[in-house]
Every structure is written in structure tokens, then in C-alpha cells.
């Protein structure tokens, strides 16, 4: 048996810089791809020749259970010669000469290039996405609501408060029609929104138009409106030709059947004996979401309109875009970072959510076949007669929607398909490119985690154990084996005072922990976890401050990447019951009852640093400081620190802000609301928390001395 060893340690960093060029071999047209590959082969030839002294061609023989090194001698391998001959017939002249001159050197060189190609394919970060360099937004759309979708972007129309929407109809693709019209009447209805009070729409000027003909306005987008105004020409001759009896209506979408059907929402209704008596009709109402506005004349009298104005309150209904399921190239991708053209997703003016699944059907569709339900694809279901349509049900193999946080996908990895939805809450919001990175191979075939105990007393330090079970794929081709991990990240809001010891398969291992208050902790293991069925236990001491505290556990693998030098793969652990000695299982810690009486305690661990303060600027006890714990707040609550004299008069409101659960320190500098140092004496301090469901107060005495 012949073994070839390569001494490429010094040249390998250079190889990594060729990743983008190697990718172009497979993405360019045939001529350019072959040219690029030949160029890389030539460079590899030179690099390998430079280091050929470190290449040894030897033979080894197996005797019993031992491999024995045999001194160099000519190799008489029929397969080797046949393989070289086959390569000789396939390659163009330049590599052929190298093969004929020295077949062993040629195969070393070819192996180097093949290894480079394999390494590039394995470690490259790939992505699925929409926008530039990916699927267009209109092609990727599954559904959308209140958002404009074009090939290169999605956006919400920008609009100001109290802005008249009708002048922008044409730009937004809107229009104004009257009942019975089959197209846009540019000669008559456009006069309603041209900004000119001397042009007008008069149904009497066209014999085909009735005085009761309905006018329908499409705003070209959905807006929140709170005012409609329309006027005739205001000169002496025409000012009395105003609408006296009418109905004003709105809707988000048109009813089937035509523009003469009434829209769903009534905004105003004028009919004798309460008819309109003002030439300038200015109607104000509570904001409603509308794309269509309908004016229905209820009179046989002559009338005209010179301008029809619809005003926005400056807001829009929240827009939503939902993509089709996007497939990764690999069957079991590790979903990672989310990127958009604006940079930091945490600062983006929109919200992205994802869900993942093993197939392209997040929703299952059925049709009725007698008493049976038959599965069918979504497009066929949509064209089925309503009476034959069966239910639409969520696919249990798909995850639920998860919000992207810290710029990373929170949906389960190892699912090939990803679907996303974008919520655009504000006018003027837009998005041109969105991509979801993924890497391969997986860190583990399955990761499951559990926290114990599942309940704790609010604000009291508790000893927890975090269990993590890892199933690894350890066989198959090299590039398809799971990589394992050396780092674990735990995201949680508990106040952590200690992490460790750490056990792997019941043996304590060396590990270092880094705690980030309010965020969680990261753990670096001395040895990589690679064995299938590995079971980890992480001991920690922490105080839970809010009910339903979650622990998010993810394994981390730092990988070489041909573009960026290094990339980070994250794989989330699913909550599960993995320790048979603990009942139940999950990654949520609940707070137990306060003494069993059901009382909600919001304030705890209150400590006055000094009962006497001396605000003289010497740096010793210059200010009142009170430490405390805010507990069980799921939403921010108003927190106040107020100082009162013994007569009950308030001296100072030192703190007044919204706060969430956590450990805090409040302070008062010994001054009143006017900024003057208060006289010596005793004062009452009051800490007050006002939450939606309850409130809490604490009083104490502090003395001021000089």
C-alpha cells in the first residue's frame, strides 16, 4: 500500500484566500470556469513544487496488526498506472505534460486542488434570501397586506400628518371612477384631485351619467384617514351647486360585483330633513383604515365637485409581507445570521419573524371526498369549489413563528425550508434585500436541554442545574459528520452569581464561564464535545426576578470561512425532559407564590446603604442610596423615589421612570426640586411601583446632617 504525505502547512493559508475564485468555477459560464480552474491549478503546481522536499512517497506493509515502514523503492501498482493514464486522456495539454513528466508529483498536485475544493464547499457560508442577488420580492411572495411589493423591494408609502392623499393618486396607482365606468376617466374624474378649484366634475355634462352615480376613489394604498373634504366651485354662480344629501363610506377592499355596490363602513350620512346646508363639506371622524372611499349621492338635484380631499392622520396600518418557504441547498442546515442592506438588524424599522420545517408545506390543505379528507396542495385547494374545500391546518412538522433577535434566526435548525414574514409598522418603511445565512454540517444531529428546578422564589438565589443532551452523527463522509462544539451560550434574565462546576458524562471537566448581567453567560469547554449521546450538566446559582423566565441554550462552533476568515455557527437546543431524575422538562422557570396567599410582591431585598447622608461634597455619604429588587414584571412599570418632609410636603421627586424586573440602586442627592440643598433634619423617602395589575410602596426615614 502506498501512502502519500503532504507538507502543506505553510501554503494552506494561501489556499483559503482562493475561495471566491473557486466558487466562480462552478457559478461562471463554462469557458470562464475552466479558465479560472486552470489558473488555480497552475498556482497550486508552483506552491506544491516549492514545498516538495517535505513530500515523501513511501510504501508500508501490514504484518499482523502493525503497519511497517519500508524504505523507498519503485512502486509497481497497476491501478495507479491505469488511473494516471485515464487522467492523461482527459486533461488538456498543460496538465498532460505534468502527468507524463512525473505522475507522482502530478497526483499530489491534483489532490491539493481537490482538497481545496472540498474544504471550500464544506466551510463556505451560504444563504437564502430575497432581493439583490436572490429571488425577487414579487416571486418570493406568499401573501402581503398593506404593503407595496415590487421586484426589487417592499415598502410603505410615506405620508405626513394631516396630508391630503388625493394629489398622489396617480403616483400610487390610484384612481377615481363613477358607477358603470369601465376605465379611468381622465377628462372628468381627475378634476376631483388636481388642486384646481376652477376645474370640476358635473354629472349633468354627460348624458350617460346619472346624478345618483357613485364616485369611487382608490387611494393607491391603505392609510389611516380621519377627514374628508369636498367643495364645488365657490364663485357666486356655482357655490350653491353643492351636495346636500349623500352617504360617505370606506373599505379596505372592494366587494365583488362592481363600484356601485356599497362599501362596508359608513363614515357619514346626510338625508332630508338633516341634509347638508354648507357648500364646503368638511367631515372629521375617528381614524379608520381605508384604501377605498365611496361618495354616494342621494339626491336628484344638480350638483358638482371641484375638489375631493381625503386626509391621513399620519399613520398607516401595519404592513405585512409573508414569503414562500425558501429551500436551503443542504438538507440539514444550521440557520444563522440575518442580514439586510441597512446593516444592524437590531436598529431596523421593521420586525422579522421566521419558521422552519422539513418540507415546503407549512400549512396542510384538504378537500372533501365524501366523509374523507384528502390532502392537496395549496394552489389546487384555492381553485377548488368552496363546497368541496376542506380545512387548512398548520403542519405539525413546522415550528411556530419566532422573532429574529440579536440578528440571528431563532427557529430550529436542521430544517431545510425557512419561511419569513416582515412587519412594517410605520410610513416610509422599506426593505430591499434580506438574507438568511446558514452553514453545514450541523453541530449536532439533535440538542435537547432542561433546567431544574422549574420553580424558584422571586429574588432569592437558587441552585439550578442545566442539562444538555447531544446526539452526534459520527459516521459517513468526513464533510457530513457533525462538528460538535466547545462553547455553549445561555441567554436568560436571571441574576447569575456562580457558574460551575460542569460535568460531561458524569465526569467534571475544565471550563471557563463569562457572565453578562441581564443577558446570560457563555461557557468554554476545554475539550470539544464530539461523542454521540454526550450528556452535560452545568451547575449555576442565580436569582429569578420575573415569572416565566426563559433559558435559551445554544451550542456554538467557530468555523473557518473562505470569505471572512472565520464564521460562527449557532444551534439552538430544544426544550425536553432529558433527565429521568427530574419530573417534567423544559427551559422555563416559574416563580412560586409569596407565602401561598397569592399576593404579588413587586419589591424585595430593599437595603438602605446609610441612614444618614451629608451632602457637603466630600465624597462620603453625599447621597441617599437604596438598593432593591423589582420582581415579576413582564412589562415596564413606573418606578418612583420621592422625598417628603415630616409635614407631608413633597420635597423632591428624585426618580421617575419606567423599569423592568432586575436589581436596581436608587439615589437622592439631598436637594429639593429647585436644586437647593435641603436643611438638616429627618425626611421620609417613598419607593413606589405602579404596574397594570398591582402596585407596591415602601417607606423609610433618612437623616440629613452637616
Residues with Cβ within 8 Å of residue 310, at least 6 apart in sequence? 164, 165, 166, 217, 219, 225, 227, 228, 293
Using CA atoms, how far residue 472 sits from 45, 282, 481, in Å, is 38, 71, 8
**Residue 423 and residue 348 in contact, taking contact as beta carbons nearer than 8 Å:** no
Burial grade of 700 (CB within 10 A; 0-12, 13-18, 19 or more): middle
Distance CA 389, CA 378 (A): 11
pLDDT of residue 108: 57
pLDDT of residue 93: 52
Grid cell for residue 214: 357613485
**Residue 19 and residue 124 in contact, taking contact as beta carbons nearer than 8 Å:** yes
Residue 41 has pLDDT above 70, yes or no: no
pLDDT of residue 541: 94
Distance CA 126, CA 436 (A): 8
**In percent, how much of the chain has pLDDT > 90?**
23
pLDDT of residue 1: 35
- Given the C-alpha cell 473557518, which residue does it identify? 560
Secondary structure letter of residue 158 according to DSSP = -
User: Across-strand partners of 70?
Assistant: 59
Grid cell for residue 532: 454521540
What would the DSSP string read from start to end of 192-254? GGSS-TT--B-GGG-TTS-TT--EEEEEEEEEEEEEEEEE---STTTTT----SEEEEEESSP
Question: What is the average pLDDT value for the chain, to the nearest integer?
Answer: 79
**Residue 211 and residue 299 in contact, taking contact as beta carbons nearer than 8 Å:** yes
**Phi, psi (deg, nearest 5) at residue 169:** -60, -50
639-661 tens-digit pLDDT: 999 999 888 888 899 888 888 88
139-171 CB burial, b ≥16 within 10 A, e <16: ebbeebebbbbeeebbbbbebeeebbbbebbee
Superfamily of domain 159-315: Galactose-binding domain-like (2.60.120.260)
Pairing of strands 281-297, 326-327: unpaired
What would the DSSP string read from start to end of 599-655? ----EEEEEES-SEE--SSSSSS-SEEEEEEE-S-SS-EEEEEEEE-TTS-EEEEEE
Percentages helix, strand, coil for the chain (3-state, rounded to 5) are 15, 45, 40
Distance CA 468, CA 528 (A): 14
Element spanning 471, H or E: strand 461-471
Residue 697 has pLDDT above 90, yes or no: no
308-321 tens-digit pLDDT: 999 999 888 889 99
**Residue 223 and residue 290 in contact, taking contact as beta carbons nearer than 8 Å:** yes
pLDDT range class, residue 137, cuts 50, 70, 90: very high
Element spanning 549, H or E: strand 549-550
113 or 179: which leads in pLDDT: 179
Distance CA 570, CA 525 (A): 16
Calculate the CA 685 to chain-centre distance.
Answer: 44
Average pLDDT over residues 78-90: 48
Residue 202 has pLDDT above 90, yes or no: no
Secondary structure letter of residue 67 according to DSSP = E
In 3D, which of 475, 464, 450 has the Cα closest to residue 531? 475
138-178 tens-digit pLDDT: 999 999 989 999 999 999 988 888 889 988 888 888 888 87
Residue 64 has pLDDT above 60, yes or no: no
**In percent, how much of the chain has pLDDT > 70?**
76
Average pLDDT over residues 509-513: 93
First CA to last CA across the chain, in angstroms? 93
17-33 tens-digit pLDDT: 444 455 444 444 444 45
Average pLDDT over residues 617-623: 81
The HSE-up count of residue 99 (CA atoms within 13 Å, CB side) is: 21
pLDDT of residue 4: 33
Residues with Cβ within 8 Å of residue 470, at least 6 apart in sequence? 444, 446, 447, 484, 485, 529, 532, 533, 534, 535, 536, 555
- CA torsion sign, 480 to 486 to 491 to 494? positive
Residue 75 has pLDDT above 60, yes or no: no
Distance CA 431, CA 319 (A): 12
**Phi, psi (deg, nearest 5) at residue 258:** 130, 175
- Domain 603-704 CATH assignment equals 2.60.40.4070: yes
- What residue ranges in 232-357 does DSSP mark as E strands? 246-251, 265-270, 281-297, 307-312, 319-323, 326-327, 334-340, 351-357
pLDDT of residue 450: 94
Residue 688 has pLDDT above 50, yes or no: yes
Average pLDDT over residues 539-559: 88
What would the DSSP string read from start to end of 74-126? ----HHHHHHHHHHHHHS-HHHHHHHHH-HHHHHHHHHHHHHHHHHHHHH--E
Element spanning 494, H or E: none
Distance CA 578, CA 510 (A): 23
Distance CA 638, CA 418 (A): 40
pLDDT of residue 66: 37
Edge to edge, the sheet with strand 588-591 lists 455-456, 588-591, 549-550
CATH architecture assigned to 446-591: Sandwich (2.60)
pLDDT of residue 362: 93
Residues with Cβ within 8 Å of residue 641, at least 6 apart in sequence? 626, 653, 654, 655, 656, 666, 667, 668, 685, 686, 687, 688
pLDDT of residue 613: 86
Grid cell for residue 223: 392609510
Residue 538 has pLDDT above 90, yes or no: yes
- Whether 159-315 and 603-704 share one fold: the answer is no
pLDDT range class, residue 46, cuts 50, 70, 90: low
Domains of the chain, by residue range, sit at: 2-123, 126-153+320-362+398-439, 159-315, 446-591, 603-704
**C-beta neighbour count of 339 within 10 angstroms:** 17
308-357 tens-digit pLDDT: 999 999 888 889 999 999 999 988 899 988 999 877 787 888 999 999 99
pLDDT of residue 649: 85
pLDDT of residue 478: 43
Distance CA 578, CA 450 (A): 7
Residue 134 has pLDDT above 80, yes or no: yes
pLDDT range class, residue 259, cuts 50, 70, 90: low
In 3D, which of 98, 114, 107, 52 has the Cα closest to residue 75? 107
Average pLDDT over residues 66-89: 44
Residues with Cβ within 8 Å of residue 595, at least 6 apart in sequence? none
Amino acid at each position: 500500500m502506498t501512502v502519500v504525505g503532504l507538507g502543506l502547512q505553510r501554503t494552506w493559508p494561501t489556499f483559503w484566500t482562493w475561495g471566491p475564485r473557486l466558487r466562480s468555477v462552478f457559478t461562471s459560464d463554462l469557458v470562464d470556469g475552466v479558465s479560472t480552474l486552470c489558473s488555480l491549478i497552475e498556482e497550486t503546481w508552483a506552491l506544491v513544487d516549492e514545498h516538495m522536499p517535505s513530500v515523501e512517497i513511501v510504501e508500508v506493509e501490514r504484518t499482523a496488526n502493525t503497519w511497517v515502514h519500508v524504505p523507498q523503492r519503485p512502486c509497481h501498482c497497476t491501478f495507479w498506472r491505469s488511473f494516471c493514464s485515464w487522467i492523461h486522456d482527459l486533461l488538456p495539454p498543460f496538465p498532460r505534460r505534468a502527468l507524463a513528466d512525473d505522475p507522482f508529483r502530478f497526483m499530489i498536485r491534483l489532490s491539493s486542488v481537490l482538497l481545496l475544493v472540498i474544504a471550500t464547499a464544506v466551510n463556505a457560508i451560504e444563504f437564502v434570501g430575497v432581493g439583490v442577488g436572490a429571488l425577487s420580492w414579487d416571486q418570493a411572495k406568499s401573501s402581503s397586506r398593506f404593503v407595496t411589493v415590487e421586484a426589487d423591494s417592499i415598502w410603505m408609502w410615506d405620508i405626513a400628518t394631516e396630508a391630503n392623499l388625493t394629489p398622489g393618486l396617480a403616483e400610487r396607482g390610484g384612481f377615481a371612477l363613477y358607477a358603470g365606468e369601465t376605465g379611468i376617466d381622465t377628462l372628468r374624474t381627475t378634476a376631483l384631485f388636481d388642486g384646481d378649484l376652477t376645474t370640476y366634475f358635473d354629472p349633468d355634462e354627460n348624458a350617460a351619467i346619472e346624478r345618483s352615480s357613485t364616485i369611487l376613489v382608490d387611494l393607491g394604498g391603505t392609510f389611516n384617514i380621519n377627514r374628508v373634504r369636498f367643495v364645488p366651485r365657490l364663485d357666486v354662480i356655482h357655490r350653491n351647486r353643492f351636495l346636500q344629501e349623500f352617504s360617505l363610506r370606506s373599505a379596505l377592499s372592494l366587494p365583488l360585483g362592481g363600484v356601485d355596490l356599497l362599501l362596508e363602513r359608513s363614515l357619514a350620512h346626510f338625508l332630508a330633513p338633516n341634509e347638508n346646508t354648507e357648500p364646503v363639506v368638511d367631515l372629521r371622524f375617528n381614524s379608520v383604515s381605508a384604501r377605498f372611499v365611496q361618495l354616494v349621492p342621494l339626491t336628484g338635484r344638480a350638483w358638482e365637485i371641484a375638489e375631493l380631499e381625503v386626509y391621513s392622520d399620519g399613520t398607516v396600518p401595519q404592513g405585512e409581507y409573508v414569503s414562500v418557504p425558501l429551500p436551503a441547498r443542504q438538507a440539514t442546515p444550521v440557520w444563522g445570521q440575518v442580514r439586510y442592506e441597512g446593516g444592524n438588524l437590531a436598529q431596523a424599522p421593521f420586525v422579522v419573524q421566521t419558521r422552519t420545517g422539513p418540507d415546503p408545506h407549512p400549512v396542510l390543505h384538504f378537500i372533501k371526498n365524501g366523509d374523507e379528507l384528502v390532502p392537496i396542495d395549496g394552489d389546487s385547494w384555492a381553485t377548488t369549489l368552496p363546497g368541496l374545500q376542506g380545512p387548512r391546518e398548520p403542519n405539525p412538522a413546522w415550528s411556530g413563528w419566532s422573532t429574529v433577535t440579536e440578528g440571528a434566526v431563532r427557529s430550529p435548525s436542521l430544517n431545510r425550508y425557512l419561511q419569513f414574514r416582515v412587519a412594517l409598522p410605520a410610513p416610509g418603511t422599506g426593505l430591499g434585500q434580506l438574507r438568511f445565512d446558514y452553514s453545514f454540517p450541523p453541530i449536532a444531529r439533535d440538542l435537547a436541554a432542561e433546567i431544574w428546578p422549574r420553580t424558584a422564589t422571586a429574588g432569592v438565589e437558587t441552585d439550578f442545574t442545566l442539562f444538555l443532551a447531544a446526539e452526534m452523527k459520527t459516521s459517513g463522509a468526513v464533510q457530513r459528520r457533525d462538528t460538535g462544539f466547545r462553547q455553549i451560550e445561555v441567554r436568560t434574565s436571571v441574576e447569575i452569581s456562580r457558574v460551575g462546576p460542569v460535568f460531561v458524562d458524569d465526569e467534571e471537566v475544565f471550563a471557563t464561564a463569562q457572565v453578562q448581567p441581564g443577558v446570560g453567560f457563555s461557557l468554554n469547554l476545554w475539550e470539544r464535545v464530539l461523542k454521540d449521546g454526550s450528556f452535560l450538566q452545568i451547575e449555576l446559582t442565580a436569582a429569578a426576578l420575573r415569572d416565566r423566565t426563559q433559558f435559551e441554550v445554544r451550542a456554538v462552533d467557530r468555523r473557518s470561512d473562505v470569505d471572512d476568515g472565520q464564521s460562527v455557527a449557532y444551534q439552538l437546543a430544544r426544550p425536553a425532559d432529558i433527565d429521568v431524575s427530574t419530573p417534567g422538562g423544559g427551559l422555563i422557570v416559574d416563580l412560586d407564590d409569596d407565602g401561598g396567599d397569592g399576593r404579588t410582591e413587586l419589591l424585595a431585598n430593599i437595603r438602605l446603604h446609610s441612614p444618614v447622608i451629608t451632602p457637603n461634597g466630600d465624597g462620603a455619604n453625599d447621597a441617599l442610596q437604596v438598593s432593591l429588587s423589582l420582581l415579576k414584571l413582564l412589562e415596564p412599570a413606573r418606578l418612583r423615589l420621592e422625598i417628603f418632609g415630616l409635614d407631608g410636603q413633597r420635597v423632591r421627586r428624585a426618580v421617575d421612570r419606567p423599569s423592568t424586573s432586575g436589581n436596581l440602586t436608587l439615589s437622592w442627592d439631598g436637594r429639593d426640586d429647585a436644586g437647593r440643598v435641603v436643611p438638616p433634619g429627618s425626611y421620609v423617602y417613598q419607593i413606589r411601583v405602579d404596574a397594570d395589575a398591582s402596585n407596591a410602596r415602601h417607606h423609610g426615614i433618612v437623616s440629613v446632617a452637616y
